[in-house]
Amino acid sequence: MTNRIRLLRAERGWSQADLAARLGVSRQTVNAIETGRYDPSLPLAFQIAAIFGTAIEQIFDPGNIGPGSRPS
């Protein structure tokens, strides 16, 4: 799953540590989400969307997920 967190964060001039503090998670977690190595839980994804003031689907792109397919 890809996302636009790095871009949105850069637009606001926030560091990974800043965003991590706002989300209440570690900086490593923000880094892992940004690089697509870790998919956040639904509550955390909603929290990220709320912090950036946008909809979840504007931030996260699930890629090719159709009926019967498994997310990466």
Q: Is residue 32 a contact point for another protein (CB under 8 A)?
A: yes
Q: Is residue 51 a contact point for another protein (CB under 8 A)?
A: no
Interaction residues for another protein, span 5-24 (CB under 8 A): 17, 21, 24
Q: Is residue 47 a contact point for another protein (CB under 8 A)?
A: no
Three-state secondary structure of 4-45: CHHHHHHHHCCCHHHHHHHHCCCHHHHHHHHCCCCCCCHHHH
Q: Is residue 49 a contact point for another protein (CB under 8 A)?
A: no
Number of residues that bind another protein (CB under 8 A): 16
